[in-house]
Amino acid sequence: MSNPLGIAVVGCGYWGPNLARNFERNPRSRVLALCDIEARRLSRMKDLYPEASCFTDFATMLEAPGVEAVVVATPVRSHFALAKAALLAGKHVLVEKPMASSSAECAELIALAKKQCLVLLVGHTYLYSSPVRKIASIIAEGGIGELKYINCQRLNLGLFQSDINVAWDLAPHDLSIIQHVLGEPPLFVNCQGNAHFTPGIEDVTNLSLTFTQQRFATIQSSWLEPRKVRQITFVGTGKMIVYDDLQPLEKIRIHDVRVECPPHYESFAEFQYSYHYGDCYLPRVEQCEPLKVMCSHFIDCVREGVTPLTNGEQGMAMVRILEASSESLRARGGAVPVAGLRELLPVESPAA
C-alpha cells in the first residue's frame, strides 16, 4: 500500500473544515498543512489536527514537506490564483465550486493541469450523492417515462456573499444535477433577479434553462427566505420524482401521477385531459456522506489514475452557464445562448 496522500487545505472557514475532516478520516490520506489568513481559525483547526502545520501565507504552505495535493475552499474570487499557484508548484488540486470567476480562468487551469500531468477535480459534491445517482439511474432506465422538465428550489436566509450573487452561490448544485441527469448542456439561459441589499449582487434569482427535445429546467435561488428549502422535482410522462435533500432518510419519493391527453378527438367538446393518481413509493437509498465519497474519489484519481467524475471541463461548463446567467440578468431576463458546451461536454450516459 502506498503512503497516505499528503493533503493541504486552504480556507478554514465554512467548508474547509468538512473537507479536512473527510481527508483525515480516510486511511489513504493525511492532512499535513492548513492555511487561512485568520489566525483564529487556524488555532481552532490546530486543536483538531495537532500534527498538521499551520500557515497564514499560501506560498509558504506550498513548500511544506509531504504535501502532494491542495484543497481550495476559499471565496470564489481567489480560486483561480490559488489553484494556479498550486498546479505550478506540482500539486494536485481539488477546488470548490464554482471553479473560478470566469471561463477564461477555468480554461487556463485545465490547460495547466494537463501540461503538468496533474489531477484537477471540481467540488460538485452532489454528483457523489447516493440519492442523485439513484435518481439519474431511474430516469436513464425509463422509470418515469420521458423526462419533461425539472424544477429546483434552493432557498434560505443568508449566507450573503460579497463577491458573487445568489445564482453563482447556490445554483451550481442544481446545475450539476440537471446536467448529470439530462446528459447534455443547455441551449439557452434566461435569468431574472433582484439585489435588495447589496447593489449589483442579486440575492434572489430565477434561472431557466432550455434543452433539446423541448425539455426545460428552472432554478429558484434565494438568500431571503424564512425557511430552508432544498427540493428538486423531476416530471416525466409516466411518473414524477421529488427529491428533498433536507429529509434525513426519505429523500426520494416517486409519485405515480401523470397527465394524459386523448390520442384522437374530432371536436373541442370531446377533448378532455385525464389525470392519473397512483401510489407513492420510496426507493431504498444507501446512506453515505457525499463529501466522503468525493474525497475518496480524489485520492483514486491521484493514486490510481482514475478520470475525475467532476473534472475541469465540467467546472468550466458550469461557469459558462453562470456567465450566461449574469449576461441575461443585465439583459433583464433575455435569452442568452450558451455556446461551445456541446463540444466541451459530449453526451454521456447519465447513469455512468
Looking at residue 148, the DSSP 8-state letter turns out to be: E
Which residues are paired to 33 by β-bridges? Answer: 8, 53
Determine the average pLDDT of the residues in 23-42: 97
149's enclosing H/E stretch is strand 147-157
Confidence band of 1 (pLDDT split at 50, 70, 90): low
Considering only residues 351 and 248, tell me which one the structure prediction assigns the higher pLDDT: 248
Residue with cell 476559499: 74
Confidence band of 78 (pLDDT split at 50, 70, 90): very high
Whether 230 and 126 have beta carbons less than 8 Å apart is answered as no
Confidence band of 137 (pLDDT split at 50, 70, 90): very high
CA atoms within a 13 Å half-sphere pointing along the CA-CB vector of 270 = 6
- Please determine, for residue 352, whether its predicted confidence score (pLDDT) is greater than 50: no
pLDDT score recorded for residue 265: 59
Q: Which fold has domain 5-125+291-311?
A: Rossmann fold (3.40.50)
pLDDT score recorded for residue 192: 98
Give SS3 for 246: coil
Domain chopping of the chain, boundaries: 5-125+291-311, 127-286+316-344
Q: How far apart are CA 317 and CA 344, in angstroms?
A: 7
Q: Which CATH class is domain 127-286+316-344?
A: alpha beta
Q: Output the average pLDDT for the chain.
A: 92
Considering only residues 287 and 192, tell me which one the structure prediction assigns the higher pLDDT: 192
Considering only residues 268 and 309, tell me which one the structure prediction assigns the higher pLDDT: 309
pLDDT score recorded for residue 179: 93
Confidence band of 348 (pLDDT split at 50, 70, 90): very low
- Please determine, for residue 266, whether its predicted confidence score (pLDDT) is greater than 70: no
Residue with cell 481550495: 72
The x, y and z cell numbers of residue 161, run together, are 456573499
Amino acid identity for residue 209 in this structure: L
